Structure 1
Amino acid sequence: MPRHAAEPAEKVQRYAGELGSGYLTADGDVLFCEACKMTVNADKRYYVGQHVQSVGHVRRHQLAQISSEEGGLASDLSPRENSFSMDLCRMMVESNIKLYKNQQQSFRTFMQKQCQADPPNHTTLRKTYLKKLYEGTVYKLRSSIGDNRICISIDETADVKGQFVVNTVIGVLNPETPSIPFLLNSDTVGRTHQTTVAQAFTNALNLLWPDRVHHERVLLFVTD
């Protein structure tokens, strides 16, 4: 029997389910991207795939995920903790500002004048909020990987103190979406050789998958 073309609404619903990643919604024969706040041409699957793989969509998708995860961090705060201190700690860490800098008088004066808030002591940021940010970041990395296969690159360097550091970088291998590599772990070692590199590899996988290491998902490993 001859095939019948799918109805527009049925086709749009299918595209939203198969390509949407939770951000494409179907309203009749209209396909809407929640991340980009725009309608998407759904005449052909190719057009939808182009939008999903575009740099703009990928970036907005990632920002939406980050905002959602940051909201989750705020909801995990105890009654004695507050979102201002969490946001301040995040801003300083992501801007590569040492936490003790918030004790500078000019910093405190600015925060009190412009934000009407008294910044907490840097030891409070370090002991109370930094760990939550770290755990939230690791959770975000796990979520971005999901069940995808990954590639791992390990490289050795030396820090400002002359200590040897082994950095482990991970990327997602997904044919449908571009991958942004990220630093998963840094190990300080006495010497850099095959044993310390192998240990860094193991440490990174245990950090990524604490319940069960999925060696079968590592398709590519690069080191020098």
Structure 2
Amino acid sequence: MLNPRVQLSELVREFGDDIFMCNATTLICTACNKTFPNARRFNLSQDSRTSSHKKALERLRRRQAEESRLQAAICSSDLPSFPMELCDAFLAADIPLFELENPILRTFLENTTTKLIPNESRLRNFHVHEIYQRKMQIIRESIGSSSSRISIDETIDFMGRNFAHVLIGSLNKETAGLPYISNCEIVDGTNAHTVLRVFYRRVEDLWRTDVQHERVLLFVADAAPYTVAAARSLKVLFPNMIHIICIAHAIHREAEQARKSFLKVDRLISTL
């Protein structure tokens, strides 16, 4: 009489060792996660013809195919560039990187690209900084040897955090170049010291070790007292710089004064 383990092994080979597996006494269907103690050929034949087994087998085949594609992507030579391109695309489209943790989106991307989708932390730790440096190089090349203008605006988000937004662009006799968002950073507060620190950091990042103090011609910001004080201090370091008030801020302040003067009209408009 054959050993039970030998009999089960023969059944596994007959019905497919990629679907069934066995231990000393039990045969297991990996598609259905069903066990067959003291399995017989008749039992397996009957189960293999059921609709539930066929659907489970289809899911298993699909999962195996996906794993094979992902494994091929891991071994492919172009994989290192894919996370960078993915990160760059998400940032360019203004899509938060944490959206990659969405299981439906992750599965869709893996199925359509046949590549292993990195998680948010990997992209943030290994690729965001490099993409930022690439963008800064584009800004440097755009400004070239031209003079520059810098705009700083501070705002508070819904969580109460203070942000400083910095725009940098070229400035010459013919025209003003396209402005670029150089940075958006969280700051400790809104004061002259913050404006000074943010301004000089961006200038250092633009020209690296050799800051071109004479080429900064224009500083655009609001008319807050601490901003005016910061501009006076920056004038010492950047002798050719002129501080002008942002027209949008000026119009906004005029509108605020109009609201205070016509309270009834303000309430009427706010209800429309």
- Which TM-score bucket, shorter chain as reference? 0.5 to 0.7
How far 1:113 moved relative to its partner?
A: 2.5
What amino acid is the match of 1:210? R
Q: In the alignment, is residue 141 of structure 1 matched against residue 139 of structure 2?
A: yes
For 2:92, the equivalent position in structure 1 comes to 94
Secondary structure at the residue paired with 1:169?
A: strand
For 1:82, the equivalent position in structure 2 comes to 80
For 2:186, the equivalent position in structure 1 comes to 188
Q: In the alignment, is residue 212 of structure 1 matched against residue 210 of structure 2?
A: yes
Q: Larger helix proportion, structure 1 or 2?
A: 2
Residue deviations 1:100-124, cap 9 Å, x none?
Answer: 2212221122212222222122222
What amino acid is the match of 2:209? D
Report the CA distance shift for 1:117/1:187 in structure 2 as closer, same or farther (over 3 A).
Answer: closer
Secondary structure at the residue paired with 1:203?
A: helix
TM-score calculated relative to the size of structure 2:
0.49
State the structure with bigger RCO (CA 8 A, min sep 6), 1 or 2: 1
Structure 2 spans left out of the alignment, 5+ residues: 1-76, 223-272
Secondary structure at the residue paired with 2:160?
A: coil
For 1:119, the equivalent position in structure 2 comes to 117
Residue deviations 1:6-41, cap 9 Å, x none?
Answer: xxxxxxxxxxxxxxxxxxxxxxxxxxxxxxxxxxxx
Q: In the alignment, is residue 171 of structure 1 matched against residue 205 of structure 2?
A: no
How far apart, in 1, do the equivalents of 2:179 and 2:84 lie? 26
Identity %: 36
For 1:153, the equivalent position in structure 2 comes to 151
How far apart, in 1, do the equivalents of 2:106 and 2:186 lie? 34
Runs (4+) off by over 6 Å: none
Contact 1:167 1:187 in 2 (8 A): yes
What amino acid is the match of 2:135? T
For 1:105, the equivalent position in structure 2 comes to 103
Report which of the two structures shows the higher radius of gyration computed on alpha carbons. Answer: 2
How far apart, in 1, do the equivalents of 2:189 and 2:159 lie? 14
Root-mean-square deviation (CA, aligned residues, Å) is: 2.0
Report the CA distance shift for 1:81/1:215 in structure 2 as closer, same or farther (over 3 A).
Answer: farther
TM-score calculated relative to the size of structure 1:
0.59
Contact 2:169 2:176 in 1 (8 A): no
What amino acid is the match of 2:81? S
Report the CA distance shift for 1:86/1:215 in structure 2 as closer, same or farther (over 3 A).
Answer: same
How far apart, in 2, do the equivalents of 1:157 and 1:200 lie? 14
